[in-house]
Each structure stands twice: as C-alpha cells, then as structure tokens.
C-alpha cells in the first residue's frame, strides 16, 4: 500500500508553461517535504512544510500543504528546461519516528 500517491507520474511540457504536481494521502503527516532528483544524483531538498494550509514560495515554485495535512501540491510557473527532473514528496508521521515515506515521484521534462 502506497501511503503517498503522486500525480501525474510523468509530465512533458514546453518551456514557459505552468504545471502542478500533487501528493495525496489518507494519512496525516506532521511535515511534508519536496525533493528534486537529477539522474545519477541523490534527491535534494526543495522545501519543508509543517503547518496545515501553509504556502511557501521559492522563486517560480509554490508549495502548499493541505489544511488537514494529508496532501500537498507543487506548482511551477513558466517552467524552464532546468526544471527537468524527478520530483519527490516525502512525509513524516509522528507515529513513524524519524522515518520518511516517499511518493513514487513525478518525472518532469521541460522541452525548450
């Protein structure tokens, strides 16, 4: 059973377009993180959200944590080829100690 469902699994868009990636669960998370991974490298943390309803902006990236802390979204405005990569959401649950549960990832390709 996958605790964190990411959608879409694959996304191929043209430079300049906007996109949204979703991360959903039936479980409550104490915090949720978004990572970006490029081929041959480990995931790199983009943001951590902790409070229900929280919105964080990182340049052209906007992250939102659902009010009930069960879901999150990542919105990219005016995507660029450099945004290409695997985007992973990961949740921490207070009952799981320090363990993170990762989603399956969204493979984003931005074509020039």
Partner 1 sequence: GAGVSQSPSNKVTEKGKDVELRCDPISGHTALYWYRQRLGQGLEFLIYFQGNSAPDKSGLPSDRFSAERTGESVSTLTIQRTQQEDSAVYLCASSFIPLSSGRSKNIQYFGAGTRLSVL
Q: For binding to partner 1 (CB under 8 A), which residues are involved?
A: 6, 30-31, 33, 35, 40-45, 48, 50, 86, 88, 90, 92, 94, 96-105, 107
CB of 49 to partner 1, least distance (A): 9
Residue 24 vs 31, nearer CB to partner 1: 31
Strands 106-111 and 44-49: unpaired
Q: Which is nearer to partner 1, 20 or 31 (CB)?
A: 31
- Dihedral sign of CA atoms 15, 76, 23, 105 in order: positive
CA distances from 105 to 41, 51, 97 (A): 15, 22, 22
Q: Whole-number minimum distance, CB 57 to partner 1, in Å?
A: 18
Number of other CB atoms surrounding residue 55 within 10 Å: 12
- The residue (of 79 and 89) whose beta carbon lies closer to partner 1 is 89
């Amino acid at each position: 059973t996958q605790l964190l469902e990411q959608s879409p699994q694959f996304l191929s868009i043209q430079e300049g377009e906007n996109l949204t990636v979703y991360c959903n669960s039936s479980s409550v998370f104490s915090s949720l993180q978004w990572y970006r991974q490029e081929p041959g490298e480990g995931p790199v943390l983009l943001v951590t959200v902790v409070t229900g309803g929280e919105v964080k902006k990182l340049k052209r990236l906007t992250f939102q944590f659902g009010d009930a802390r069960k879901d999150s979204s990542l919105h990219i405005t005016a995507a660029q080829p450099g945004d290409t990569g695997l985007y992973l959401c990961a949740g921490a649950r207070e009952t799981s100690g320090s363990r993170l549960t990762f989603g399956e990832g969204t493979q984003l390709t931005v074509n020039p």
